[in-house]
Amino acid sequence: MDGTQGHLRVAMIGYAFMGRAHSQAWRVAPRFFDLPLQPEMRVLVGRSRDRAEEAAQHLGWAEVATDWRAVLERDDVDLVDICTPGDTHEEIAVAALEAGKHVLVEKPMANTLAEAERMAAAAERAAAAGVRSMVGFTYRRVPAVALARQMVADGRIGEVRQVRCQYLQDWLADETAPLSWRTDKELAGSGALGDIGAHIVDLTHFVTGQRVATVSGLLDTVVAERPCAESFSGLSGVGGTERGPVTVDDVAIFTGRLESGAPAVFEATRMAWGRKNAMRIEVNGSRGSLAFDFEEMNVLQHYDADARAGEQGFTRIIVTEPQHPYVAAWWPPGHGLGYEHGFVHQAADLVRAVAAGEQPTPSFADGLAVQRVLDAVERSHAEEGRLHRIPENTGTTLEGAAR
Amino acid sequence: MDGTQGHLRVAMIGYAFMGRAHSQAWRVAPRFFDLPLQPEMRVLVGRSRDRAEEAAQHLGWAEVATDWRAVLERDDVDLVDICTPGDTHEEIAVAALEAGKHVLVEKPMANTLAEAERMAAAAERAAAAGVRSMVGFTYRRVPAVALARQMVADGRIGEVRQVRCQYLQDWLADETAPLSWRTDKELAGSGALGDIGAHIVDLTHFVTGQRVATVSGLLDTVVAERPCAESFSGLSGVGGTERGPVTVDDVAIFTGRLESGAPAVFEATRMAWGRKNAMRIEVNGSRGSLAFDFEEMNVLQHYDADARAGEQGFTRIIVTEPQHPYVAAWWPPGHGLGYEHGFVHQAADLVRAVAAGEQPTPSFADGLAVQRVLDAVERSHAEEGRLHRIPENTGTTLEGAAR
Amino acid sequence: MDGTQGHLRVAMIGYAFMGRAHSQAWRVAPRFFDLPLQPEMRVLVGRSRDRAEEAAQHLGWAEVATDWRAVLERDDVDLVDICTPGDTHEEIAVAALEAGKHVLVEKPMANTLAEAERMAAAAERAAAAGVRSMVGFTYRRVPAVALARQMVADGRIGEVRQVRCQYLQDWLADETAPLSWRTDKELAGSGALGDIGAHIVDLTHFVTGQRVATVSGLLDTVVAERPCAESFSGLSGVGGTERGPVTVDDVAIFTGRLESGAPAVFEATRMAWGRKNAMRIEVNGSRGSLAFDFEEMNVLQHYDADARAGEQGFTRIIVTEPQHPYVAAWWPPGHGLGYEHGFVHQAADLVRAVAAGEQPTPSFADGLAVQRVLDAVERSHAEEGRLHRIPENTGTTLEGAAR
Amino acid sequence: MDGTQGHLRVAMIGYAFMGRAHSQAWRVAPRFFDLPLQPEMRVLVGRSRDRAEEAAQHLGWAEVATDWRAVLERDDVDLVDICTPGDTHEEIAVAALEAGKHVLVEKPMANTLAEAERMAAAAERAAAAGVRSMVGFTYRRVPAVALARQMVADGRIGEVRQVRCQYLQDWLADETAPLSWRTDKELAGSGALGDIGAHIVDLTHFVTGQRVATVSGLLDTVVAERPCAESFSGLSGVGGTERGPVTVDDVAIFTGRLESGAPAVFEATRMAWGRKNAMRIEVNGSRGSLAFDFEEMNVLQHYDADARAGEQGFTRIIVTEPQHPYVAAWWPPGHGLGYEHGFVHQAADLVRAVAAGEQPTPSFADGLAVQRVLDAVERSHAEEGRLHRIPENTGTTLEGAAR
């Protein structure tokens, strides 16, 4: 099941933005990392054969298919990489796992908590049979983020006391930006919350080694109505009219506590003019702080409360040294990496886990933990911000977390 | 009442940190600003004559007194500048206003909402008699902040859509830092919330021209017990023991909405290692954004969504040009100002308002509006984050706000 | 000559740091750019067959060879990509051009001015026969740098008045770092000057559209002696001793003027602790300024003297918008690129030029112009900083420069 | 001579920009620093009695005079503070010293080397009689700069290996900015070189503890002709015409070496659009680096090559802690200082030196050392950049320099 002759044969479903990033990852990972299995870009799956073929040629896949169910039955596919919108994840992932295929699913893992629960259960069953599954929270594999987690785990900032986490974008700040599947509740599940809020919840889980245990939420749709894009007319019944409603949030703010009780504040927005992809986390510990902003993705800021008096301050670590996570495979110091490298690292780590017969992270259980937080935020918002507890997120031992 | 022979004779009560800053303001303001009245540093009031005399000599006050009530009866005092802890503000301010003295009171205006309400009522009565009052939210007078407000009022970022506001400090992050009046609920009223949370609420009111209308709050005391400082033993009954409880919050997080419904998120903390005085606000509007951080106090960041395509980005305005608020009085471009200059500007503006017979801002009504928010945050926290409405903060016209 | 069946068959000579970057470029370019010819990674050439085979497998080349001269005679090779040290460039490049192969040569183009002159002459002869050549000044293809050039050419900062350009590294700041071919004059030609000084001279030529016309130079070898690396013993006769001399500069500072007379200052150093790859240029024009630092490679700073009064400042353009050079091929706004992407863009541009039968830039003539500057710096240094004129660099029309 | 009854009675000559800054210093220094002598703002001297009286009243001087020679004869003046343009410095300073008055002279100390030499000789003679003298290189007293010097002296970056130093302004970048005394060689001596180049030479001397020993210079006047300001017509015979020549440099670039041989590069310009007061120094040592930029005047950047591997980077020290130079007198951490505070510190240090009977720094000898560098730059420029040695600057022990 783990490849023929040292290969790991991949089928990728979907070929839009995420499909392009994943293709680059499968292509590049074996060129920079010594992998126990060679990923093979076997088949790209899309609904339209013509468009899939064009994509496959461009992205470098050996062949195409239009029926993902048929692909699951093939013997020459070891791993299914799911890059479709969230409303399809459960169906495909569960079927793939049941067919004995390893699964990589893009985030958010699912559109609803119930879907996520079924997926996690399926993953657990499959794991017993040696079938692996992973959620694509790729930012975990940005070297600076991985370094942050390692430093927290190593106690370099002491106990985690506080977290502030933001994901600021502006791609919907322009009110003339049209409706799309991402502004449609039926297709996307939620808006800023599920799309980018999911990232910062997972980021917090990963970096602190703790899960979010309580939340109080506030959602908003600042621009409530948008023009219908021609290509989008027909979706959700808005076709024919000139403007239609945005049915998801574009701002999601929530506060809460980690398992340890440490307070945390989160904000996800698509309305922050000038912030292009500002995914940020700052963790204040008892002996220091760490801060990251994806807009400077090769940098981690570290404040060491135990540094020499009079010389303390945030140290701007350029995370491009060979001893930093993932970096030795790449370029000399100061020669930074880009967005797609997180996907390459994800592919490499997944291949290694599959080869080693180990559980890759983030697992579907990790994805479910994120989903529980998102769900609680929505419920809290519906009840005027009343605090919601997430008992399932408490007392667990995070897989791969703090040593 | 407005001075003899063009003077404005000041009595200052209290001479600690704020007393030093206010003294510098009274001393320096007339040297850089053309004022209609010359402030005169007439009398410094303190409980201990010896220590008051030492302070008066050092800070440049003409004489000292130990009984503030007696000072209020003096004919040669026009304005009372209250720099004492918050639990004394109401008593002194109301008495001073009733004695016909103009009043400048340090923030937070009061320790409780009831006190603030009585102070605002007294201020309103006094105003009818031409007696002026002002709250010392001095950050309004940082040129970059004043520029931000002016740009919002001028519509340079369109409609306000979202606000994120933080005040991050670390002076209590060290758990060996001892108890003080600032960690004692009886004396300080609250902790991070009232001390620095008050600043960011006022900052939001000022910059956006809108008040906070609903909140959901989360308070925490991360370090719940501290050593007793020798000089502090006896306070609140902690004397004699070696450690005592911190009875105020050291982290205050709250979300909410402005009058217009725009969502906002606030965080005040004393536990953020490495953040020394990071009072920050970012306002996202429909046509741009503004961002400020006191740790770079001479800078305002501006994103203009209508700038030339391909050349957009945050512009780092160094707010030291003659056309910027307050700056013409000072130095050439690039020769920045410091913390105390906000106090100098505050003194100058107050003197001018008194001379002109106009209401200075922020008024006690403005201070009360802040206090209502703080109070609602505490009540929301006590009810697990349930949203609290502040109807009194809605529908008002902010004095001196957006045109 | 331009490939069989729409292919461009590449032979790469050398497979160290640059070989890895070039391999990634050939592999990735056709996946993100629509290219008229498909690059084919045909043959990797190295002296040791074993090591070349290992590299070829890892980097993805179809086969290996050990005799580059034999490769030049092959019909199934269209382009020779020279990634060897500078002392071999002339011999290989001239032979390749004479064999009718297109050539990409890494920078610095040559170790001596005489070599560069012969190479440029060979390139000119070859061009007449439709054979193309290019020097690998890859930083020209960083989107922010390409945008800077475009903005200068478009007159967005008016006339160029002044340039300051730095390339700061620290990889030799540690005095225990051993000798290598890069510290050996015979192999490397020069030190910081030729290695990274070459980059900033080309960067200046590219961004300003003008060549450096006069220089006054100062070279230094701050750490004059280093340990002999085991792997390096034997080189230049230092073997057997424990320490040996550094025979190249590690700091190169030079001032000068562009063709227009605009003053410029340059610094290249390997001794600046903390600066990992700080290649920086700032151009001050009559109506604004532009600034770039590779340590923030996705950002271009722009000051527009004609912006609205009171709102002027450096604008931090995040160069990740679809209208920015090269960016449309990649990811959404804010999802930055990394070091290697410049190589991908270089490969794409070269393929297109070959297919179009046009001269790619930077040409060997451009490389020669850089070499003339480096040579003049060395001669000026030898004469105590006396200004050297470079008449050949004046009055030329830069290929592909300002419209 | 050192004051009556513990006072130090000051006469200030000139009351423009520098006069305002010095007045603020004399006023404020005793309020924040415990001084052994109380400065007394006795008399302000100006040519026009009316304007001097207006200035004295505004700036807070007790009286005015129009004849500086007469002031030197007064018994009730202890110190003469010279804030006039550079062409008058020698005459006033020498006369004051000979009259037994302590002298503070603004920088540049003189317009010519000969003047500076005579001043230094006069200062040396006066010192023998207990009369003190100081040059106003006020940036030495910015806390971050003083910290930099202290860290170099303490060996925190090891041996000094390299210096890069810039002073970038843009106040003449606008070519419609009119002629003034600062663009006139007769009055100002030189342009960017003497005005701001002097600062960075002194800054280098101060921070490194070494003097500049050799230089190679390049001067330019980028905008060679400007409109005549009405108020300036008549100066230098340009009156009557509409435009006149700029007779000083507006760009000064020079390279050189410190006494130890360490290479250094300097640039002073008034043409760098967007750079308002960017006085910057970066020192690279054998074990680390330090960097300062006046546009962030409360920050010192420090790179420690001996920090923990993987956590190295530039640390942004916010120089507002009580243990930092001068800071304990002011505000809590994070409450930054401004431009004028350097003048306050300068006044305090001068008063203390006078009271202690010690030589204040920078002395006239220090000022002469700077002047020698400026003179050598001009001569080198006149000889096409040929390196000039400054033997008098070598082998000296800097007063107050590295321990």
Cα–Cα distances (Å) from A159 to A118, B178, B271, in that order, read: 34, 20, 12
CA angle centred on D10, ends D7 and D13, rounded to 5°: 180
Q: A134-138, B247-251, D182-186: which range is least confident on average?
A: D182-186
Q: Where are the domains of chain A?
A: 7-139, 142-337+363-393
Q: Looking at beta carbons, which residues of chain A come within 8 Å of C23?
A: 31
Say how far apart CA A293 and CA C329 lie, in whole Å: 24
Instruction: Give the confidence band of A395 by pLDDT, cuts at 50, 70, 90.
Output: low
Is a pLDDT exceeding 90 seen at residue A403? no
The answer, for A323 touching chain C at a CB cutoff of 8 Å, is: no
Residues D340, D341, D342, D348, CA torsion sign:
positive
Give the closest-approach CA distance of D300 to chain A in angstroms.
Answer: 9
Taking an 8 Å cut-off on Cβ atoms, the answer to whether B334 and D294 are in contact is yes
D288 vs C275: CB contact, 8 Å cut-off?
Answer: no
Q: Is the pLDDT of residue B402 over 80?
A: no
pTM: predicted TM-score of the whole model, two decimal places? 0.96
- For residue B400, the model assigns a pLDDT of 41
A20 Cβ neighbours under 8 A, 6+ residues apart: A59
* CB spacing of D289 vs C282 below 8 angstroms: no
Look at residue C2 in the predicted model and tell me its pLDDT. 46
pLDDT tens-digit readout, B112-127:
999 999 999 999 999 9
Return the residue of B nearest to A385 by Cα.
B386
Q: Which residues on adjacent β-strands are paired with residue C291?
A: C282, C301
| Residue A312 with chain B: CB contacts under 8 Å | 274
**Annotation: CATH topology of C141-337+363-393:** Dihydrodipicolinate Reductase; domain 2 (3.30.360)
Cβ–Cβ below 8 Å for C275 and D269: no
- C chain contacts of residue B307, beta-carbon cutoff 8 Å: 315
CA distances from B226 to B170, B271, B376 (A): 15, 14, 28
Q: What is the pLDDT of residues C188-209, one digit of tens each?
A: 889 999 999 999 999 999 999 9
Bond prior to C325 in cis (omega within 30° of 0): no
Q: Which residues of A touch D153 (CB under 8 A)?
A: none
List the structure tokens of C7: 């292919």
**All residues at 6 or more sequence positions from A114 whose CB lies less than 8 Å from its CB, including other chains:** none
What's the alpha-carbon Rg for chain B, to the nearest Å? 21
B140-337+363-393 and B7-139 share a CATH fold: no
Any D CB within 8 A of C271 CB: yes
Q: Do C162 and D273 touch (CB under 8 A)?
A: no
Task: Among D304, D313, D323, select the one facing A309 at the smallest CB separation.
Answer: D323
Distance CA(B227)–CA(B250), nearest Å, equals: 16
d(CA D192, CA B284): 41
Of B310, B312, B315, the CB nearest to C311: B315
Q: Report whether C25 contacts C59 (CB < 8 A).
A: no
Q: Where are the beta strands (DSSP E) in D30-112?
A: 38-45, 63-65, 79-82, 102-106
Written out in words, the top-level CATH class of the domain with range D140-393 is: alpha beta
Mean pLDDT of the B359-365 span: 97
Instruction: For residue A149, list chain D residues with Cβ-Cβ distance below 8 A.
Output: none
Cα gap A260→C34, rounded to integer Å: 52
Contacts of B44 (CB under 8 A, 6+ apart): B11, B12, B15, B19, B52, B55, B56, B59, B61, B63, B64, B65
Q: Let me know how many helices (H) and strands (E) chain D has, helices first.
A: 11, 17
Q: How far apart are CA D243 and CA D221, in angstroms?
A: 15
Of B162, B267, B314, the CB nearest to A164: B267
Confidence at B188, pLDDT banded by 50, 70, 90: confident
The crossing angle, in degrees rounded to 10, of helices B341-356 and B17-32 is 60
DSSP state of D264: E
Assess whether pLDDT exceeds 60 at residue C88: yes
The chain B residue lying nearest C156, using CA atoms, is B311
Residue C231 tokens, joined: 């792997």
Contact C144, C393 (CB under 8 A): no
Residue A15: CB partners within 8 Å, gap ≥ 6?
A: A23, A44, A46, A51, A52, A55, A56, A59, A83
Low-confidence ranges of chain D (pLDDT < 70): 1-5, 230-241, 395-403
For residue A297, the SS3 value is coil
Helix (H, G, I), strand (E, B) or coil at A252: strand
C218 interaction partners in chain D (CB closer than 8 Å): 216, 255-257, 263
What is residue D64's predicted lDDT score, i.e. its pLDDT? 97
Contact A253 B272 (CB under 8 A): no
pLDDT at B239 over 70: no
**Any B CB within 8 A of A157 CB:** yes
Give the nearest chain D residue to A325 (CA atoms). Answer: D310
Q: Which CATH code is given to the segment(s) B7-139?
A: 3.40.50.720
Distance CA A295, CA A190 (A): 24
Q: Please answer yes or no on whether B316 and C318 come within 8 Å at the CB atom.
A: no
Classify the C-alpha dihedral B128-B131-B136-B140 as positive or negative.
Answer: positive
B396 versus A332: the higher-pLDDT residue is: A332
User: Hey, are the CB atoms on C334 and A23 less than 8 Å from each other?
Assistant: no
- The answer as to CATH 3.40.630.40 being correct for domain D7-138 is no
Judging contacts by C-beta atoms under 8 Å, the chain D residues touching residue B277 are 332-335
D58: enclosing H helix or E strand? helix D49-59
Whether pLDDT at C123 is above 80: yes
Q: How far is B111 from chain A, CA to nearest CA, in Å?
A: 24
Is the per-residue pLDDT at A88 higher than 70?
Answer: yes
Q: Min CA distance, C154 vs chain B (Å)? A: 13
Contact at CB, A31 and C27, closer than 8 angstroms: yes
CB-based contact B162 A289, cutoff 8 Å: no
Q: Which residues pair with D252 in a beta bridge?
A: D219, D268
Query: In Å, how far are A85, A137, A266, D271 from A370, measured between CA atoms?
Result: 17, 11, 13, 54
- For residue A137, give how far its alpha carbon lies from the nearest alpha carbon of chain D (Å): 24
With CA atoms as reference, the chain B residue closest to D315 would be B274
Query: What is the structure's pLDDT at D230?
Result: 63
Those of residues 293-312 in D touching chain A at CB distance below 8 A are: 299, 302, 304, 307, 309-312
- In which element (H, E) is residue A124 found? helix A113-128
Tokens matching residue B12? 């200052």
pLDDT single digits (tens) A238-257: 445 689 999 999 999 999 99
Please, are residues B257 and B213 in contact by the beta-carbon 8 Å criterion? yes
C-alpha to C-alpha distances, C164 to B245, C167, C173, nearest whole angstrom: 58, 10, 23
Question: Per CATH, is A142-337+363-393 categorized as 3.30.360.10?
Answer: yes
Instruction: Determine, for residues D384 and C384 on separate chains, whether the beta-carbon distance falls below 8 Å.
Output: no
Contacts of D385 in chain C (CB under 8 A): 216, 255, 380, 385-387
Alpha-carbon gap, residue B195 to B107, rounded angstroms: 8
Produce one character per residue of C179-216: b if its CB has 16 or more CB atoms within 10 Å, e if not: bbebbbbebbbbbbbbbbbbbbbbbbbbbbbbbbbbbb
Burial of C299-319, coded b for 16+ CB within 10 Å and e otherwise, reads: bbbbbbbebeebbbbbbbbbb
Predicted local confidence at residue C398, as pLDDT: 46
Inter-chain contact A284–B273, Cβ cutoff 8 Å? yes
C313 contacts chain B (CB < 8 A):
yes
Whether residue A312 and residue D315 make contact (CB cut-off 8 A), yes or no, is yes
State the ipTM, two decimals: 0.94
Quickly state the pLDDT bin for A189 (edges 50, 70, 90).
confident
Which residue(s) pair with A279 in the sheet? A167
Supply the pLDDT for residue A397: 44
- SS3 of chain B: the string is CCCCCCEEEEEEECCCHHHHHHHHHHHHHHHHCCCCCEEEEEEEECCCHHHHHHHHHHHCCCEEECCHHHHHCCCCCCEEEECCCHHHHHHHHHHHHHCCCEEEEECCCCCCHHHHHHHHHHHHHHHHCCCCEEEECHHHHCHHHHHHHHHHHCCCCCCEEEEEEEEECCCCCCCCCCCCHHHCHHHHCCCHHHHHHHHHHHHHHHHHCCCEEEEEEEEECCCCEEECCHHHCCHHHCCCCCEEECCCCCEEEEEEEECCCCEEEEEEECCCCCCCCEEEEEEEECCEEEEEEHHHCCEEEEEECCCCCCCCCEEEEECCCCCCCCHHHCCCCCCCCCCCHHHHHHHHHHHHHHHHCCCCCCCHHHHHHHHHHHHHHHHHHHCCCCCEECHHHCCCCCCCCCC
Residue D2's pLDDT is 47
Asked whether the beta carbons of B167 and B200 are under 8 A apart, the reply is yes
Amino acid letter, C347: A
Decide if D251 and C271 are in contact by the 8 Å CB cutoff.
no
- From the list D164, D222, D263, the residue facing C218 with the nearest CB is D263
Taking the C-alpha atoms of residue B175 and residue A17, their distance in angstroms, rounded to an integer, is 48
Domain B140-337+363-393, second-level architecture = 2-Layer Sandwich (3.30)
Are A28 and A35 within 8 A, CB to CB?
A: no
Contacts of D323 in chain A (CB under 8 A): 309-310
> Is A278 in CB contact (< 8 Å) with chain B?
no
Q: At what angle do helices B198-208 and B364-382 cross, to 10 degrees?
A: 120
Question: Which whole number is the average pLDDT over A200-222?
Answer: 97
Q: Give Cβ neighbours of residue D55 (< 8 Å, ≥ 6 apart).
A: D15, D19, D44, D46, D61, D64
Mean pLDDT of the region B225-230: 85
Q: Do B318 and D24 touch (CB under 8 A)?
A: no
Interface check for C269 against chain A (CB to CB < 8 A): the answer is no
- The interface residues of chain A toward chain B in range 34-93, judged by CB-CB distance below 8 A, are none
Give how far Cα A358 sits from Cα of A102, A127, A379, Å. 12, 9, 35
- CB atoms closer than 10 angstroms to residue C91: 16
Set of chain B residues whose Cβ sits within 8 Å of the Cβ of D336 = 295, 297, 338-339
Q: Is the pLDDT of residue A401 over 90?
A: no
Q: How far apart are CA A176 and CA C261, in angstroms?
A: 48
CB contacts of B151 in chain C (<8 Å) are 311
> Which candidate from B173, B269, B284 shows the least CB-CB separation from A271?
B284
- Average pLDDT value for chain C: 93
**How would you class D209 by CB atoms within 10 Å of its CB: exposed for 0-12, middle for 13-18, buried for 19 or more?**
buried
Instruction: Quote the mean pLDDT of chain A.
Output: 93
Statement: residue C129 has pLDDT above 60: yes
Task: Please report how many Cα atoms fall inside a 13 Å half-sphere around the Cα of residue A326, on the Cβ side.
Answer: 25
Closest residue of chain A to D319, computed from CA coordinates: A310
Query: Could you give the C-alpha distances from C72 to C13, C15, C91, C127, in angstroms and in order?
Result: 11, 17, 12, 17
Give the H/E segment covering residue A102: strand A102-106
